[in-house]
Amino acid sequence: MTATDQRLATSSAPVRGAVDMTHGAGGRAMADLIRDVFQKHFNNDYLAQGNDGALLGKVHGRLVMATDAHVVSPLFFPGGDIGALAVHGTINDVAMMGARPLWLSASFILEEGFSLAALEKIVVSMALAAREAGVPVVTGDTKVVEKGKGDGVFISTTGIGVLADETDVSGSNARPGNAIIVSGTMGDHGVAILSKRENLDFETEITSDSQPLHNLVAAMLAAAPGVRVMRDPTRGGLSATLNEIAQQSKAGMVIREADVPVKPEVAAACELLGLDPLNIANEGKLVAICEAADAQVLLAVMQAHPKGRDAAVIGEVIADRHALVRMQTRLGGMRVVDWIAGEQLPRIC
């Protein structure tokens, strides 16, 4: 049973047929679609208000808002699907600010001809992901484009979260001497997607790591309120994320190849395809940077959490006016860890 099938176990009678232009035309068909698919599965008090927008409660603290568009191909992949990914991706973007995610919005762009049963499967998965995370989808929108002008379904989600007064997490906060920690193995999501691509089908047990990280983040901040930077290494992988932080903080980094956790199956797939696991996307991992003195406490908290079991300290921030990220190779040499040029894998999130 795939992860999506498991999510589907709660589903009732399937919706039949295909999306047509009337589903986006504002008439009866659209109202039916919203009622029978979106409202039915997302089902919460905010949506039940039935208005054009959701009236949200009062919040104490600074607000954080993040948005993410999802266009992954294939729509269903080992370990997840576009629906769950759209929830996890935005929750994680809010969480990486150190905030507690409160609400999500979701917009769907559907292609004429797309199977309504597949749409329902995606929405069920998305609703379950939102429920599991405790972050409801409170408002949404649907548009339909003509056949050939989309690719099945695109989902855009926006999240709002609240930040504790003492939290100060930013990509510009890394300082020389700080420790760099990752929450788990690198490259699982990208390789899982790659294994299902039309022209590259290969057998692997790898599943996407798509998961929400806000509870892990809350545990980390409770144990080490001084965490300076958090970011999820999605597109472009660890190398892009470290380079972004290095540039923002105007500091260099040195990491150790031997300390970066990579599953043997992911390493093998990358070896075969000529890819670098450091450049491969993750959807349920984070990079954290903290004072060296806090590193062991933080690491212990992460390793004790189910979403950070394989966490590891992988290197340090150093003073470097060129803001280069370098890596001590397993062999004992040194090299730059660069961002990838252009696209390595198309449409992975």
Partner 1 sequence: MKYVDEYRDQRLARTIAGAIAAEADPERSYHFMEFCGGHTHAIFRYGVQDLMPDNVHFVHGPGCPVCVLPVSRLDDAVELAERHGVILCTYGDMMRVPGTRQRSLIRAKADGADVRMVYSTLDALKIARENSDRQVVFFAIGFETTTPPTAVALKMAETEDLANFSVFCNHVLTPAAIGHILESPEVRGLGIVKIDGFLGPSHVSSVIGSQPYEFFAEEFQKPVVIAGFEPLDVMQSVLMLVRQVNEGRHEVENEYTRVVTQEGNLKAQALVSEVFELRKSFDWRGLGAVPYSALRIRDAYAGFDAEKRFGLSVKVTREVKSCECPSILRGVKKPTDCKLFGTVCTPQNPIGSCMVSSEGACAAYWSYGRFRDQKPASLEAAE
Sites of contact with partner 1 (CB under 8 A): 176, 199-200, 252, 264, 267-268, 271, 274, 318-322, 324, 326, 329-336, 338, 341-342
Coil, helix or strand for 229? Answer: strand
For residue 267, the surrounding DSSP H or E stretch is helix 264-273
Task: Please report how close the Cβ of residue 196 comes to partner 1 at its closest, in angstroms.
Answer: 15
130 vs 266, beta carbon nearer partner 1: 266
27 vs 176, beta carbon nearer partner 1: 176
Indicate left, alpha or beta for 259 from its phi (over 0: left) and psi (-120 to 50: alpha): alpha
Does residue 74 have a cis peptide bond before it, meaning omega lies within 30 degrees of 0? yes
Task: Please report how close the Cβ of residue 276 comes to partner 1 at its closest, in angstroms.
Answer: 8
| CA 82 to each of CA 62, 69, 252, 331: distance values in angstroms, whole numbers, following the listed order | 30, 10, 35, 39
85 vs 251, beta carbon nearer partner 1: 251
| CA 164 to each of CA 8, 87, 101, 134: distance values in angstroms, whole numbers, following the listed order | 36, 22, 12, 18
117 vs 267, beta carbon nearer partner 1: 267
Q: At residue 113, what is the residue type? A: G
Residue 334 near residue 315, CB atoms below 8 Å: no
Residue 302 near residue 311, CB atoms below 8 Å: yes
Of the candidates 126, 139, 153, the residue with the CA atom closest to the CA atom of residue 70? 153
Task: Please report how close the Cβ of residue 43 comes to partner 1 at its closest, in angstroms.
Answer: 43
16 vs 322, beta carbon nearer partner 1: 322
Rounded to the nearest angstrom, the gap between the alpha carbon of residue 312 and the centroid of all alpha carbons in its chain is: 20
CA 272 – CA 278 distance, rounded (Å)? 15
Task: Please report how close the Cβ of residue 122 comes to partner 1 at its closest, in angstroms.
Answer: 28
Task: Please report how close the Cβ of residue 104 comes to partner 1 at its closest, in angstroms.
Answer: 33
247 vs 303, beta carbon nearer partner 1: 247
List CB contacts of 323: < 8 A, sequence separation 6 or more: 243, 246, 247, 249, 250, 251, 252
306 vs 333, beta carbon nearer partner 1: 333
Task: Please report how close the Cβ of residue 171 comes to partner 1 at its closest, in angstroms.
Answer: 20
Task: Please report how close the Cβ of residue 267 comes to partner 1 at its closest, in angstroms.
Answer: 5
Task: Please report how close the Cβ of residue 159 comes to partner 1 at its closest, in angstroms.
Answer: 30
90 vs 195, beta carbon nearer partner 1: 195
Coil, helix or strand for 67? Answer: strand
